[in-house]
């Protein structure tokens, strides 16, 4: 089974808390129209044609994972060199998200691309891309000062997919409930 960049496994916060996140993303995230607010677990992922054979395996794993609360308190960033940064919200507790992701990797161990970064898998909810260290510091300070923490119960994860065309948007294809 191969991997494609048109599918992913993600955590999607409930729409009821999207407003503050989307306000930031609308201004700073060039991928605003492609992706919904999300925390990536596996990307790239298997083609949609493999979903039906993967669904029972993912369903079984998810039924073993207890529902837990995720808090979005603090902004952080990844530095990509040449004064390019990705700004993100830090979902806590990260260790429970990492545990969930590790359990999913038992099903599809070759979908570990997000684990291959220098610091390994880092749970995050991207809100934008920033150019320039001074600009980053300013934007971070303003956002953090205005930010009101958000919390939500993680009750499910999703398979999402998009068409393989330039402006296509990711859509939920399958949702897996946790225990």
Answer whether residue 126 is part of any domain: yes
The pLDDT score that the predictor gives to residue 118 is 85
The pLDDT score that the predictor gives to residue 129 is 97
The pLDDT score that the predictor gives to residue 127 is 98
Q: What is the DSSP letter of 45?
A: B
Q: What is the pLDDT along the chain (179 residues), one digit of tens a residue?
A: 599 999 999 999 999 999 999 999 999 999 999 999 999 999 999 999 999 999 999 999 999 999 999 999 999 999 999 999 999 999 999 999 999 999 999 999 999 999 998 889 999 999 999 999 999 999 999 999 999 999 999 999 999 999 999 899 999 999 999 99
Answer whether residue 127 is part of any domain: yes
β-pair partners for 152: 70
CATH number of 12's domain? 3.90.1140.10
- Burial letters for 26-41: b for 16+ Cβ neighbours within 10 Å, e otherwise? eebbeebeebbbbbbb
Answer whether residue 1 is part of any domain: no
C-alpha–C-alpha distance, residues 13 and 147, integer Å: 17
The pLDDT score that the predictor gives to residue 1 is 59
Residue corresponding to tokens 């919904």: 36
Answer whether residue 74 is part of any domain: yes
Number of domains present in the structure of the chain: 1
Answer whether residue 164 is part of any domain: yes
Answer whether residue 2 is part of any domain: no
Report how far apart, in Å, the C-alpha atoms of 111 and of each of 72, 114, 165 are: 26, 8, 22
Answer whether residue 169 is part of any domain: yes
Answer whether residue 120 is part of any domain: yes
- Token code pair at residue 63: 């039924």
Give pTM, 2 decimals. Answer: 0.96
The pLDDT score that the predictor gives to residue 119 is 86
Report how far apart, in Å, the C-alpha atoms of 161 and of each of 8, 38, 146 are: 7, 13, 33
Task: Give the domain range for residue 23.
Answer: 7-177
């Amino acid at each position: 089974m191969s991997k494609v960049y048109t599918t992913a496994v993600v955590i999607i916060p409930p729409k009821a808390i999207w407003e503050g996140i989307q306000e930031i993303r609308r201004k700073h995230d060039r991928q605003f129209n492609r992706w919904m607010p999300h925390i990536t677990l596996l990307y790239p992922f298997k083609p949609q044609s493999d979903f039906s054979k993967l669904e029972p395996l993912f369903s079984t794993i998810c039924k073993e994972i207890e529902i837990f609360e995720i808090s979005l308190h603090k902004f952080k960033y990844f530095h990509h060199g040449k004064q390019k940064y990705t700004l993100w919200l830090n979902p806590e507790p990260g260790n429970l998200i990492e545990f969930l992701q590790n359990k999913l990797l038992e099903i599809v161990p070759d979908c570990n691309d997000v684990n291959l970064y220098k610091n390994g898998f880092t749970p995050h909810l991207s809100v934008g891309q920033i150019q320039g260290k001074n600009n980053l510091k300013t934007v971070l300070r303003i956002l953090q000062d205005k930010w009101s923490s958000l919390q939500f119960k993680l009750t499910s994860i999703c398979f999402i997919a998009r068409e393989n065309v330039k402006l296509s948007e990711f859509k939920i294809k399958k949702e897996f409930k946790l225990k």
